[in-house]
Amino acid sequence: MDKIRTVIIDDETPAREIIRHYLKELDNIEVIAECADGFSGLKTISSMKPDLVFLDIQMPRLTGIELLEVLTEKPEIIFITAYDQFAIRAFELNAVDYLLKPFPKRRFLEAVGKATEKILSGTGRKEPVSQLLAKKPESAAPVNRIVVRKGNAINLIPVDQIRYVEAQDDYVMIHHLNGKAMKQQTMKFYEDNLPGTDFVRIHRSFIVRVHEINRIEPYGKDNHIAILKSGDRLPVSRAGYQQLKKELKF
Amino acid sequence: MQHPILANRTRLIIWGLAWLFLGIGQALLYYFAYGKFVNISIADALLSLLIFSVLALSIWYPFNYFTLGKENPLSLILNLLAIGVVSVVLWILISKGILLLLLPDRNIHQEYWDVTLLYRIGTGLFIYMLVILSYFLFVSLSNLSEKKAREAKLESLVKETELKMLRSQINPHFLFNSLNSISSLTISDPDKARDMVIKLSEFMRYALSKKDEQPVTLRSELDNLRLYFDIEKVRFGDRLTTDENIDENCLDTKMPVMLLQPLYENAIKHGVYESTQRVTIVTEAKRTDGHIEIKITNNFESVPSSRKGTGTGLLNVSRRLELYYGKNASIKTTRENDVYSVSLIIPSEV
């Protein structure tokens, strides 16, 4: 039987050490790499294609959540974090298991056991993570950057460079100052996580930065159209028009 | 409630002067009413008003009794009227007795009495009203100042509670990650684990022990800060270095406990958490006339963070400054070339 190829991603050395130490006792697991930040973690997963990943949330460059968002082929994930309500929700929905630091050995082995079973039986999770990550707890601050992947390149789009977001089937197209980028995510995510003071959902398929709007014109019987500074013309639904009215106080 | 006049010397003097003034008025009244006996009129008026003033002082007790009970206004008025009638009658009877001593001649006495009696009744009721009014005034004044005192007490209580609430809570990330490091070190380096447990305990004890807002010195704040950094350095290794540049003459300055902690937590959160490079946190303190300036600087990697900070830490510190020092302290932040710095200016003496 092949060993389960495992990667540990955590920015704190002692945190990686204890996982490595516990795993040493398990014959069927092989640690093939360790990473200290989200960026190198993503590269390592993409190139080495491990079966199992221990993933910390709070890391430099790319958080564990963002890393998961842009992974195309997903290994089984065991999340490890210290304290993070948002993350705990995400684990419950997305990961084989999650461990809260500091974790007892018994709990650790239980999580690895679950993962091993899943990997060996080949019943990995297939549903897209993006759907499940959309939920945001009330208290969480708005997102400040969006991580997108173009081929092998990873880009961080600062939220203040986003002009508007457009729905395209299972994807969203993010139109920003330097072009556009596609990401597998829901409009709901952007509606909930972009700063509500700057963005308005003007249509089922469009969320726009209020300051990008140049003018609004009537269109058809009782619809409107928003004309952006860039010249883009976006449809405004009736509900969206009410939203704009409230936001712009006209 | 205490007697409003007897309990206060100044009021007693003013009270006496007022009666003297009333007595002079009374004497003039008697003189004009009867037209003779200047000396008798003066003696009569002063003596009878002296008696009334003693009577008026004792009226306070029934007055206080009837106004304290939350009776309806009608029965209060009736009670006060009854007291008034009794007092005035009593006063007039006593005055008559005194006049007998002053004017032994029965005929002149009777004539003088008949002429002045109406004036006596009139001024008696009038003075009684003045007395009652002044008692009402004293009661409402004392209620007002009591209310003010209560409000001031409440306000300081609220302020104290807010200060306690603003006392930085131990960051759960810090606590659980540190515990995880310790858990790991128990296997790889038990001595270091023990060392870290002790440091964490000392830090926690400092943070938790100061129950009230007793000010602490910058020296003890910095001692505690070093513990915090020692713990964080175990977690972050080479990614965190610290430096200090503190003038000796700042060390004894008093400040609220854990005032600086949120600023260091920010430096760790926005500096070290988000960076793969080494982050150096520098603390400087220098004294300028009457104030000390504490400056905390850290470098950071200039990529947008995953989620925006909420600014809670900074708000927290500036609100504490405001509550503790009033307008005598200030906080300022700057961000330049991937270096973030925050400066506090606080009075060196409070």
Rg (CA), chain A: 21
For CA atoms A119, A123, A129, A132, give the dihedral sign. Answer: negative
> A interface toward B at CB cutoff 8 Å?
11-15, 17-18, 21, 36-37, 39, 58-61, 63, 65-66, 82-83, 100-103, 140-145, 156, 158-159, 195
Rounded Cα distance between A86 and A88, Å, is: 5
Closest among A235, A225, A158, A244 to A204, alpha carbons compared: A235
Q: How far is CA B275 from CA A162, A227, B7, B71, in A?
A: 24, 40, 71, 74
Is B143 in the same domain as B174? no
Please tell me which of the candidates B175, B234, B308 has its beta carbon nearest to residue A144: B308
Is B183 in the same domain as B308? yes
Is B275 in the same domain as B330? yes
Least confident of B78-87, B152-161, B174-183: B152-161
Please tell me which of the candidates B180, B273, B307 has its beta carbon nearest to residue A101: B180
Residue B95 near residue B132, CB atoms below 8 Å:
no
**Residue of chain A whose Cα is closest to the Cα of B268:** A60
For residue B325, is pLDDT > 50? Answer: yes
Is B98 in the same domain as B227? no
Q: For residue A158, which residues of chain B lie inside 8 Å, CB to CB?
A: 304
- Look at A12 and B177 and tell me if their CB atoms are within 8 Å: yes
Helix axes of B73-102 and B38-68: crossing angle, nearest 10 degrees: 160
- Enclosing H/E stretch for A64: helix A64-70
- Look at B187 and A17 and tell me if their CB atoms are within 8 Å: yes
Least confident of A121-135, A150-164, B25-39, B109-123: A121-135
* Nearest-neighbour CA in chain B from A163: distance (Å): 17
* Nearest-neighbour CA in chain B from A122: distance (Å): 32
Is B132 in the same domain as B202? no
Query: What digits encode the pLDDT tens for the residues B247-276?
Result: 999 999 999 888 899 999 999 999 999 898
- Look at B310 and A37 and tell me if their CB atoms are within 8 Å: no
Number of structural domains found in chain B: 2
For residue B121, is pLDDT > 50? Answer: yes
Architecture of the domain made up of A145-248: Beta Barrel (2.40)
Instruction: Give the residue with greater pLDDT, B121 vs B213.
Output: B121
- Look at A15 and B180 and tell me if their CB atoms are within 8 Å: yes
Check residue A88 and give its pLDDT: 64
Check residue A161 and give its pLDDT: 94
Least confident of A199-203, B2-6, B139-143, B261-265: B2-6
Domain edge (last residue) among B113, B135, B157: B157
- Look at B173 and A14 and tell me if their CB atoms are within 8 Å: no
Check residue B171 and give its pLDDT: 81
Output the average pLDDT for chain B. 87
Q: How far is CA B4 from CA B12, B76, B136, B138, in A?
A: 9, 20, 10, 7
**What tokens appear for A113 in the block?**
């056991």
Is B148 in the same domain as B215? no
- Residue B1 covered by a domain: no
DSSP output for A182-211: EES--HHHHHHHS-TTTEEEEETTEEEEGG
Q: Can you name the CATH fold of A4-133?
A: Rossmann fold (3.40.50)
- Look at A63 and B172 and tell me if their CB atoms are within 8 Å: no
Q: For residue B183, which residues of chain A lie inside 8 Å, CB to CB?
A: 18, 101-103
Is B209 in the same domain as B177? yes
**What tokens appear for B117 in the block?**
């009696």
Mean pLDDT, to the nearest integer, of B166-191? 88
- Look at A14 and B275 and tell me if their CB atoms are within 8 Å: no
Is B126 in the same domain as B256? no
For CA atoms A82, A87, A88, A91, give the dihedral sign. Answer: negative
Mean pLDDT, to the nearest integer, of B147-160? 85
Please tell me which of the candidates B184, B275, B309 has its beta carbon nearest to residue A60: B275
Q: For residue A145, which residues of chain B lie inside 8 Å, CB to CB?
A: 303-306
Q: How far is CA A211 from CA A46, A142, A156, A224, A245, in A?
A: 38, 18, 22, 17, 14
Closest among B197, B248, B249, B247 to B227, alpha carbons compared: B197
Is residue B66 exposed (0-12), middle (13-18) or buried (19+ Cβ within 10 Å)?
A: middle
Domain around B120: 9-157
Q: For residue A15, which residues of chain B lie inside 8 Å, CB to CB?
A: 177, 180-181, 184, 235
Please tell me which of the candidates A13, A63, A141 has its beta carbon nearest to residue B237: A13
Q: What CATH code is carried by the domain that includes residue B173?
A: 3.30.565.10
Is B34 in the same domain as B174? no
Is B321 in the same domain as B174? yes
Q: What share of chain B is helix, strand, coil (3-state, %, to 5)?
A: 70, 15, 20
For chain A (length 250 residues), average pLDDT per consecutive 10? Answer: 91 95 94 95 94 93 88 88 69 76 94 92 58 53 88 89 93 93 89 90 94 90 89 91 84
Angle in degrees, CA A24, A27, A33, rounded to 5: 55
Query: What digits encode the pLDDT tens for the residues B186-222?
Result: 999 999 999 999 999 999 988 887 665 678 999 999 9
**Residue of chain A whose Cα is closest to the Cα of B184:** A18
Please tell me which of the candidates B173, B274, B303 has its beta carbon nearest to residue A82: B173
Which residues touch A7 (CB under 8 Å, ≥6 apart)?
A31, A32, A33, A34, A35, A41, A44, A45, A48, A50, A52, A53, A54, A75
The CATH 2.40.50.1020 portion of chain A extends over 145-248
CB contacts < 8 A, A to B, total 94
Looking at the DSSP assignment, which residues form a beta bridge with residue B263? Answer: none
